[in-house]
Structure 1
C-alpha cells in the first residue's frame, strides 16, 4: 500500500486544514507500467500527477524532443489543468506509482489560496521566496539558552559620586562608553548616561562642576552573571530601562548590558563578535574572536536569515578581522601609505565560510619600506592563524608578485590585457574583484582605472576572458534532468562559476565598477545590458546555488562544492533544475555575444 498523501512538501505545505482534508478525500492512486503514456499531447488536463515512485519523461508530441524528467515527489502537468489541454506527452520510463488529484479540487484550491497558486509562477525568485517562507521558522532556542557571560558583558566605567560632570564626561569619551556607574559609600549604585548629562547641563542648567552623584539615577536595575540573556531582555523591557548592571554571586559589579546590544544578540548574535574584534589588542585575542565566526554562520543560516544578508554580514566581519590584523602587524607609519586588497569571493563579498587567502598590496609610489616583505610574510602567517589558510596558487601578499607600487600595478594590468593568454586572463579575473579593506583605500584606483581603460569594449580580449565561464558543462542530461556523479553535483563548476565569471566579463565590457556579483547584475540590468527577467533569474539562481552549497558545507564538508541531489526534497530539486537551465541559457547568450565557438 502506498503511503498516505504527504502535504508537508511545497506547495501543499501552505494549505489550510480544510484544504488538506479536501485533498486527501479526493486523491486517488494509479499504477503505470514502463512505456505507458500518462498524458498525451492534446489530452484535457483532468488531474494533477504527483509521483510516489518511479520516473516519467516529458516529450514533444512527435516524441523527438525531451523537455524534462520527473521522479519521486515531482508533480505535473499544471499548465494542462490551467489551459485545458496538455501541450506535451508524458510517459513512464519505469514502473511508476502516482497520486492523482482531480483538476476541480486543484483549481478550487488554486483560486482561493494565493501562496499555493503563486508557487506555480515560473519566476524563479518568487518560487524561492515561497519555499523559504515555508521552511523559515525562527529558531529562538539558542538565544533563549545563551547566558550572560564575559563574551557579552560590556566593561563598566565606575566613578565616585563627587566626580564633577565635566570629568565624568571626559572619562566617558576617553573610554568610548555612553554610561558610567556611580558607587556610593553606602554600597548602593547609581548610573549616569549621556542623556542624563545632556539634560543636567542644558535643560536643568547645572554647572559642569556639579558632582555626578547629584544627578545619577538610582537604584540601578541589576541582573546576575550566568542568568539567561532572554531574562535580561525581559527585565529591561518590563522596567522600561535601556541598561542593566551585571553582578556576580557576591553582588559585585562585573559590567553592564544595554538593550540595543541584547536585541542585536537576539537577532543575529553578531554584535558580540564585532565587539571582540574591536577590543582585540593582540593577535591571540583576535584569534579567539575570529574562531567565533563559524558559530555565527551556523546561527544565521539555521535561523533562516536570507543568503545575501549572511554574505554581507560575514564579509563585513571578515573585513574587520583583516583590518584589525593589518593594524596589529603593519607598523603605524606605513599603514596609510599602502592598501590591502582582498580578491576572489572575499573581494566580491560572497564568501561565507573562510577559504584560502586571496589578497594583494598596493604601495604608494613614493614609499620606501625595506622591511615590507618580512612584514607581509608575518601578515600572511597571522591570517593563517585566524583561519585563512595559504592560497595554493600563492595569490597573497607574502608572494612579491602580488605586492607592487601603484604605477607598477597600472603597468602590470596593461600588460596582462595586451597578452590575453590563459595565465594573464586568470590574473585579470582575480584583480577584477579587488576590494580595499585596510590602509589608504584610494590606492585601489591603481587597479580599477587601468582595468576599465584596458577592457571596456575590448571585445578581442574579452573573447578570451569569457572562455572559462563556458569551459564547464552545466550538470543537466540531454533530457534536461539533473546530472550527478559519484561525489554529487559540482555546483561551483556547473552553476556558480559560470554566472560569476560571465557577469564579471559583461561588467568589464561595460565599465561597471561594482565587484559584488549581485550588484553587478543589478547594474547591468539598469543600463539595459541584461533583460530584467534574465537579471532576476540569474540572481536567484546564484543565491540558490550558494545556499545549497553552504548547507552541504555546514553539515561537515566545509570545502566541498558537491551537492547530494538525492538528499534534496522535490521542491529544491525542481528549483535546482530550473536554476541550471537559467545557467545553460546564460552561457549560450555569452557564447553568442562574445563570438566563442567550440
Structure 2
C-alpha cells in the first residue's frame, strides 16, 4: 500500500476483518477527494455517492435543520442519506479544515454488506448499540492487558545490525522490536532510537542492536489492567510497553493501542502529577481526587478498581516528591528504596488515607551519608501531608529514624519480630508485611521480602501469634447477628466500615499470604492466591471475596455520597440510611467474615 493516506485502513474496523483479496479490491476502487477548509462534501454528489472515510482533516456533519450532528476526524465514516440505518447518514457535511476523503462506492458497499457478516454487523448496529459497546471498549479499568496487547510481538537478537532491524520494522510496518536473548527479554528498540541515536549520531549500519536498545525496559505482567498500561506510559513517557509472564515476553502494548479517548480520568491526574514542578502543584492535582472518586463510583466501577486507580495517583505523587527531593538536596549518596505500607502498600486507598512509609538504605553508609536522608525524608513526608496524605498518627513514617535504616537493620527487625512475637512485634509485623516499593532501587527489598516470608511461615509460634492478632478486629454483629453500631461519641449509631468491616478481611488475607509465602500484598489478590494455592477452600474463599466486595463497595459508596454532599469522606456508615434489603446483605457479609475468622481461630485452612 503505497498511498500514505491509506496506511490506517488495514487496521480499521470492519475492514480489518475482510479477506485479503477483498481488501485489495476495496483499495483499488476507493475514490480520493481533497477538500479545502469550508468546502462542502456533497459537491461530489453528481460524481459519486457512497460511504465516506476521513483519511485526514475534520468534517462537520449536519441534519436537515442545519444542526451539527457531530465533528468527525480521521478514521471516522459517514454517508449520504439512505445508505446507513443510523445517525451517520447525514444530509450535509462540510470540511472545517483541509481534509482528505476516501469514498467507498455505493454498489461496493452494498456488496460487502451482503457477503461479509462482520461488515454487515458493524454498519447495521444502532447508534445506541455502538455507544454502549464503545463505553465498554474504552473502559480500561475493566480490560485486562492480555486483551489489549499484540501477542507474540516481533523480536530480534542483540547481535542483529541496526540496518537489518530498520528493514525488519519497515517490512512489518511496526514501530519497535523486542530484543530477546536466551528466551528472556533483554531490551527494546524503537523507531525513535533509530532516528535519535543511530541516524542523528551517524552510527555505522552494522552497529549491533545491543548498542542502541533500551536495556531492561519497563514491563507489566499479563494480570495488569488497561489503566496500569496507560498510567505507566504517561508517567514515564513510554510509547511501547512489553508484557511478560514468568520473565518471558508474551506481548506488547503501544500507544496506538491506547488513545487519550480510551483513557480514564485518572490518566490526566497521573500525567499532571508526573510533571508537577512543586509541592503546591502536586497539591492542586490531589485536590481533584475526591471529585474523581465520585465519578469512578458513579460510573459503576468496582471498589478494587477505584482504590487501585486512586493509589496509582498516590504512587506517582510520591515518586515525584522523591525526584523533587533529589533536586533540592542533590544526588543521593547511596541506593535507597522508598516503600509504602498500609492501604497504599496494598493498593487500597480510598478518599480517607494517611501516610505509612519507610526507607531502606544500602549497607555500609557513613554518618554523613545517613544524614542526607533525614531532610530528604522530611521533605517527602511534608509534601505528602500537603497533598492530603496526612502524617501517620503512629509515626510510622520515614521521618522516624527507626523506619529509615540500612538493609541489615531491617533484616534484624524482622528476625526479632519473628523470633520474639510480642504484642508490639505482632502489630509492627502486620504493618510491615504490607510493604510495597514505590521509588528508588526495588532490588533492596526483594531479598528481604522473600527471606522474611520464608522465616515467618516456618515459625509456628509466630504464625499463631499473628493469627491471634488478626482476630482482634471484630465484625459489627450483635445479638442474633444483627448489626451492632457504635454506642456513643461523635460516630454514635454508625458502623466503622474500615476497622470493623474491611480490616478483618485485610488481616485474614495477610495471614493467608504468610501461610502460603505469597508475595502479593493486595487483599483481594491475597484471597484469590490463597484459593489457588488450596490454603482455603474454594467455596469459603469465594464467599469471603463476595463478602469483602460488598463491604468495601458499601464503604466507598458511603464516602462518595458524603463528597457529593460537600462533606469530608469518612468510614462511619449509619445503617439507618440503608434499605432493609441492603442491611440484610451487609449483615450476611459480616457473618461470612466472622465465619472465616472462626475457621482461622480453630486452625482450619490456615494453621492446620
Aligned partner of 1:489 in structure 2 is 495
Q: CA deviation at 1:524?
A: 0.8
Aligned partner of 1:393 in structure 2 is 394
Cα separation, 2, equivalents of 1:563 and 1:553? 9
Q: What is the DSSP-based 3-state SS (H/G/I as helix, E as strand, rest coil) of the residue aligned with 1:424?
A: helix
Aligned partner of 2:449 in structure 1 is 448
1:495-526 deviations in Å (ceiling 9; x for gaps): 22221112212211221111111111111111
Q: What is the DSSP-based 3-state SS (H/G/I as helix, E as strand, rest coil) of the residue aligned with 1:456?
A: helix
User: Retained in 2: the 8 A contact 1:459–1:594?
Assistant: no
1:20-55 deviations in Å (ceiling 9; x for gaps): xxxxxxxxxxxxxxxxxxxxxxxxxxxxxxxxxxxx
Does 1:312 pair with 2:318?
A: no
Does 1:576 pair with 2:586?
A: yes
Q: 1:334 aligns with which of 329, 332, 335?
A: 332
User: Retained in 2: the 8 A contact 1:326–1:438?
Assistant: yes
Does 1:343 pair with 2:353?
A: no
Moved more, 512-521 or 431-440: 512-521
Does 1:321 pair with 2:317?
A: yes
Aligned partner of 1:382 in structure 2 is 383
Aligned partner of 1:460 in structure 2 is 461
Q: 1:589 aligns with which of 599, 605, 608?
A: 599
Does 1:283 pair with 2:279?
A: yes
Aligned partner of 1:542 in structure 2 is 548
Q: What is the DSSP-based 3-state SS (H/G/I as helix, E as strand, rest coil) of the residue aligned with 2:513?
A: helix
Q: What is the DSSP-based 3-state SS (H/G/I as helix, E as strand, rest coil) of the residue aligned with 1:319?
A: helix
Unmatched 5+ residue regions in structure 1?
A: 1-136, 144-177, 179-193, 199-257
Relative to the length of structure 1, the TM-score reads 0.54
The RMSD of aligned alpha carbons is: 3.4
Does 1:359 pair with 2:357?
A: yes
User: Retained in 1: the 8 A contact 2:334–2:361?
Assistant: no
Does 1:519 pair with 2:529?
A: no
CA change 1:460–1:374 in 2 (3 A) is same
Q: CA deviation at 1:452?
A: 1.1
User: Retained in 1: the 8 A contact 2:341–2:435?
Assistant: yes
User: Retained in 1: the 8 A contact 2:475–2:590?
Assistant: yes
Does 1:504 pair with 2:505?
A: no
User: Retained in 1: the 8 A contact 2:302–2:553?
Assistant: no
- 1:67-466 mapped onto 2 (5 Å cutoff): 262-264=260-262, 268-330=264-326, 331=329, 333-334=331-332, 337-368=335-366, 369=369, 370-445=371-446, 447-466=448-467
Cα separation, 2, equivalents of 1:321 and 1:327? 10
- 1:10-25 mapped onto 2 (5 Å cutoff): none
User: Retained in 1: the 8 A contact 2:599–2:605?
Assistant: no
Q: How many residues align?
A: 353
Cα separation, 2, equivalents of 1:283 and 1:484? 40
1:418-471 deviations in Å (ceiling 9; x for gaps): 121111111101110000000001111354134213211322112211223322
Aligned partner of 2:572 in structure 1 is 562
Q: CA deviation at 1:530?
A: 1.1
Q: What is the DSSP-based 3-state SS (H/G/I as helix, E as strand, rest coil) of the residue aligned with 1:263?
A: coil
Aligned partner of 2:128 in structure 1 is none
User: Retained in 2: the 8 A contact 1:341–1:438?
Assistant: yes
User: Retained in 1: the 8 A contact 2:509–2:524?
Assistant: no
Cα separation, 2, equivalents of 1:517 and 1:279? 31
Which runs of 4 or more aligned residues in structure 1 lie more than 6 Å from their structure 2 counterparts after TM superposition? none
Q: 1:531 aligns with which of 534, 537, 542?
A: 537
User: Retained in 2: the 8 A contact 1:277–1:321?
Assistant: yes
Cα separation, 1, equivalents of 2:541 and 2:479? 25
Q: What is the DSSP-based 3-state SS (H/G/I as helix, E as strand, rest coil) of the residue aligned with 1:437?
A: strand
1:338-381 deviations in Å (ceiling 9; x for gaps): 00000011101111225111000000113441322122112211
CA change 1:525–1:336 in 2 (3 A) is farther
Cα separation, 2, equivalents of 1:407 and 1:293? 38
Cα separation, 2, equivalents of 1:347 and 1:552? 23
Q: What is the DSSP-based 3-state SS (H/G/I as helix, E as strand, rest coil) of the residue aligned with 1:530?
A: coil
Q: What is the DSSP-based 3-state SS (H/G/I as helix, E as strand, rest coil) of the residue aligned with 2:544?
A: helix
User: Retained in 2: the 8 A contact 1:341–1:435?
Assistant: yes
Unmatched 5+ residue regions in structure 2?
A: 1-131, 139-174, 176-190, 196-255, 487-491
Moved more, 342-351 or 483-492: 483-492
Aligned partner of 2:474 in structure 1 is 473
